[in-house]
Structure 1
Amino acid sequence: MARRIVAHKGYSGVGINEVLATAGVPKGSFYHYFASKDAFGEALLRDYFDEYLADMDRIVTQPGRPAVERLMAYWQQWRETQSFDECEGKCLAVKLGAEVADLSEAMRLALKEGTDAIVERLGRTLADGVEDGSITVDGDPGEMAQALYDMWLGASVMAKIHRSLAPLDTAAAMTRHLLHL
């Protein structure tokens, strides 16, 4: 619930009272669990990444599928859940990355750890694809994973700005090009 509100309004645009009222939680209970709004934001991000990475693992570690299929299924899932149209809390890294990185060191570190874990999984999937012959990478799979993630993150921001899926479609086309698919 809080994730959906923050994804819609941004971190700075949401007050703790709004979250508490929506959740039906008394203010005292909030401060029992969180020392501050930033501590709440950090916990929100860590919970988001735990869920996101579990979903990602279900996609990129499917047995019996070539790595290229698993990787492209991940990007398709991204297109469907990280786009501009009511991401419903599924796009917090896109929504909050630039907003909170300068506001809270704890939240910046939660974002860094979460996005590093995503890139690590992408790198592992790319390396699997090189090994099974379904993907060709010019250079290091880890560096390619970082470049692809950066491109998709930027495309997600542009999709929000333009209110169009075209930037994500361009990212998908460039992904196929970079992986020689």
Structure 2
Amino acid sequence: MKRVHKKEDIVKVGLDIVLSKGFNATGVEAILKKANIPKGSFYNFFSSKEDFALEIIDQFFADRVEILQPIFNSESLPPLARIKKSFETIMSVFEDNDCSKGCLLGNLGLEMSDHFEKVRQRLEQSLQSWTTELSGLLLRAQKEQTIPADMDVEMLAENLISSFQGALLRSKVKKSTEPLKNFIHLYFDVFLSRREGQ
């Protein structure tokens, strides 16, 4: 078996395990076994398991940005369509994983926010960056008069993410994308749908 020596490789291996099993259920030994590395190598790169958690959050968020940024930047789509497509893309990844794993930010938020302050802060930073991205697109939609001028775009962006995370949790329990599809339909085909004459 090929040995993994790079820190980035260890992070990617660990991220996959944590997404599948949760952070507390993932022992360092499980990461070492899958990565085929000696125990000393882990602690050469990470001062603690909490430090490792920060690294996998950063990796997950970087992976998510790589997938979503081209959608957010797509000038061929109007702003609301870009946001809708971004959520559909995440849903598609979830579906490809047999309605398991979900979003690391939501998973660790539930599991670790009350116990690891540095992890909570890093999760908040990641979620705030996501909120800022959506807020910018919602502001453009507002300027194009596709959403009301008096709508607080930052509040809406945060609510979209919160509602999506809730729908994702429900989808994990239900083992179905139905709650996610309902979220997308309600927000983008009903709540934010522009109706002529209104």
Q: TM-score, normalised by structure 2?
A: 0.83
Q: Structure 1 residues 82, 100: CA separation in 2 closer, same or farther (over 3 Å shift)?
A: farther
Gapped regions of structure 1 (runs ≥ 5) = none
Partner of 1:77: 89
Give the match's secondary structure for 1:62.
coil
Greater relative contact order (Cα < 8 A, sep 6+)? 1
Aligned ranges for residues 81-96 of structure 1 at < 5 Å?
81-82=93-94, 85=98, 87=100, 91-96=103-108
CA contact (8 A) 1:8 1:86 kept: no
The RMSD of aligned alpha carbons is 1.8
Partner of 1:167: 179
Deviation at 1:82, TM superposition (A): 3.7
CA contact (8 A) 2:106 2:165 kept: yes
Gapped regions of structure 2 (runs ≥ 5) = 1-12
Q: TM-score, normalised by structure 1?
A: 0.90
CA contact (8 A) 2:60 2:104 kept: yes
Deviation at 1:180, TM superposition (A): 2.2
Partner of 2:30: 18
Partner of 2:191: 178
Partner of 1:35: 47
Distance 1:105 1:79 in 2: 29
Distance 1:151 1:22 in 2: 34
Distance 1:131 1:5 in 2: 43
Question: Does the alignment pair 1:62 with 2:96?
Answer: no
Which string of whole-angstrom CA distances, capped at 9 and with x for unpartnered residues, describes residues 11-68 of structure 1? 0010001101101121111111111111001111112112212322111111232112
Identity %: 25
Give the match's secondary structure for 2:76.
coil
Question: Does the alignment pair 1:102 with 2:110?
Answer: no
Distance 2:174 2:76 in 1: 38
Deviation at 1:86, TM superposition (A): 5.2
Deviation at 1:87, TM superposition (A): 4.9
Larger Rg: 2
AA at the equivalent of 1:123? S
